[in-house]
Structure 1
Amino acid sequence: MPSITRLTPADHRRVPWKNGGGVTTELAVEPMPDGRFLWRVSIADVVEPGPFSAFPGYDRLIAVVEGDGMRLSVDGAPPVERRRLDPAFAFPGEAPVWCEPTAGPIRDVNLMLDRASATGALTPLTAPAGLRADGHRAIGEVVLVHALAGTLTVTADGGEVLSVPAGHSLLLRDAAVLVEVPAAAEGVCAEVRLR
């Protein structure tokens, strides 16, 4: 049976980075009995170059949503550059990562998944200038839609139509959804599929 939970900025939780280098804002997290989490969606502000915290046993997906972009050096490999609203970049949580904003501070969205239990996707949502984007179809045991700017429209598989204003999220379980992105609106969609 599908379930839908609205999350407002009051539901967000500010959490220090494990390495002490900053603070992340948890949009939603699913804890497990052993103290770990099954998945987590969060937003972090990166103001200067530095290392990422290590999350052994997790897969991470990251996308820049504010600012110019960043360069990531993962496990000694040549740097990979990601610009604002580029497709998400995936890497193992235990890998040493050095992050460098390309032109001033950035904000990024992270989806972390317990590798043994879940897979998923993180999709930035944006419309071309002055146009409505084609709808993004999402399916998974968990789908989180977060609006960054403007108002997104989410249609659940039962036909229910819901609005998601900037700064708010919808957490849907066991539901297929269509996310529509009006002109000037932006958001992200995280999909979690259990193994």
Structure 2
Amino acid sequence: MASITLLSPADHRRVPWKNGGGVTTELAVEPAADGRFLWRVSIADVVEPGPFSAFPGYDRLIAVVEGDGMRLSIDGTPPVERRRLDPAFAFRGEAAVWCEPLAGPIRDVNLMLDRASATGTLTLHAGPALHRADGGVVLVHALVGTLSVTLDGGEPQLLAQGHSLLLRDSAAQIDVPDGAEGVCAEIRRRYTSGS
């Protein structure tokens, strides 16, 4: 059944990293029955070099939204650099990851997905831009400025900076005006033949 939920900064939850190395702000999370979560969208503050927490069984997508950028070393492979608003970078949650900000503190947005139960995408948009999101679960977050989100057959809804919109089973168009920036996480359940 289609639903739409507006989440203000007061609804977002600041939680410590699993490894104690920092703090992340949960924009939205869908708990699972076993104490894990099906998916989570969060924004983490990274102020100094250090390891990422391990999340076995999850797929992760990450992108820099504030600051210059970061360098990631994953399981001893050659480092990968990601700059602000670069496309999201995907890696496995159980990987050994070392993160080094390139020039001072950064903030990054993370989409984590229970690999057995969900798949998804994480896209960043700098205006002017239009993005179409179809069905499943969609989390839109206004990073800078005000976005406009229009559900099929509905009126445009304005989304102020720092606010999020959680959509379920409803297609929408996201309008990012000139000077604004937003992030869109799209999540789809994996269904097995027995479900």
**TM-score, with structure 1 as normaliser:** 0.96
- After TM superposition, the runs of 4+ consecutive aligned structure 1 residues lying more than 2 A away are none
CA distance in structure 2 between the aligned counterparts of 1:106 and 1:79, rounded to whole angstroms = 17
Give the alignment partner of residue 160 of structure 1, picking from 155, 176, 186. Answer: 155
Cα-to-partner distance string for 1:51-71 (whole Å, 9 max, x where unaligned): 000000000000000000001
Deviation at 1:88, TM superposition (A): 0.2
Deviation at 1:161, TM superposition (A): 1.3
CA distance in structure 1 between the aligned counterparts of 2:18 and 2:89, rounded to whole angstroms = 21
Cα-to-partner distance string for 1:129-165 (whole Å, 9 max, x where unaligned): xxx22x1111241000000110000111233311100
What is the DSSP-based 3-state SS (H/G/I as helix, E as strand, rest coil) of the residue aligned with 1:189? strand
Query: Is 1:188 aligned with 2:180?
Result: no
Structure 1 portions without partners, runs of 5+: none
CA distance in structure 2 between the aligned counterparts of 1:139 and 1:15, rounded to whole angstroms = 30
**TM-score, with structure 2 as normaliser:** 0.96
CA distance in structure 2 between the aligned counterparts of 1:8 and 1:69, rounded to whole angstroms = 27
User: Equivalent residue for 1:137?
Assistant: 132
Counterpart amino acid of residue 120 in structure 1: G
CA distance in structure 2 between the aligned counterparts of 1:148 and 1:79, rounded to whole angstroms = 27
Counterpart amino acid of residue 80 in structure 2: V
User: Equivalent residue for 1:146?
Assistant: 141
CA distance in structure 2 between the aligned counterparts of 1:75 and 1:59, rounded to whole angstroms = 15
User: Equivalent residue for 1:119?
Assistant: 119
Counterpart amino acid of residue 161 in structure 1: P
Residues 1-195 of structure 1 aligned to structure 2 (within 5 Å): 1-127=1-127, 132-133=128-129, 135-195=130-190
Counterpart amino acid of residue 154 in structure 1: V
* C-alpha RMSD of the superposition: 0.8
What is the DSSP-based 3-state SS (H/G/I as helix, E as strand, rest coil) of the residue aligned with 2:150? strand
Percentage identity across paired residues of the two chains:
81
The count of residues paired between Structure 1 and Structure 2 equals 190
**Deviates most, 159-168 or 38-47:** 159-168
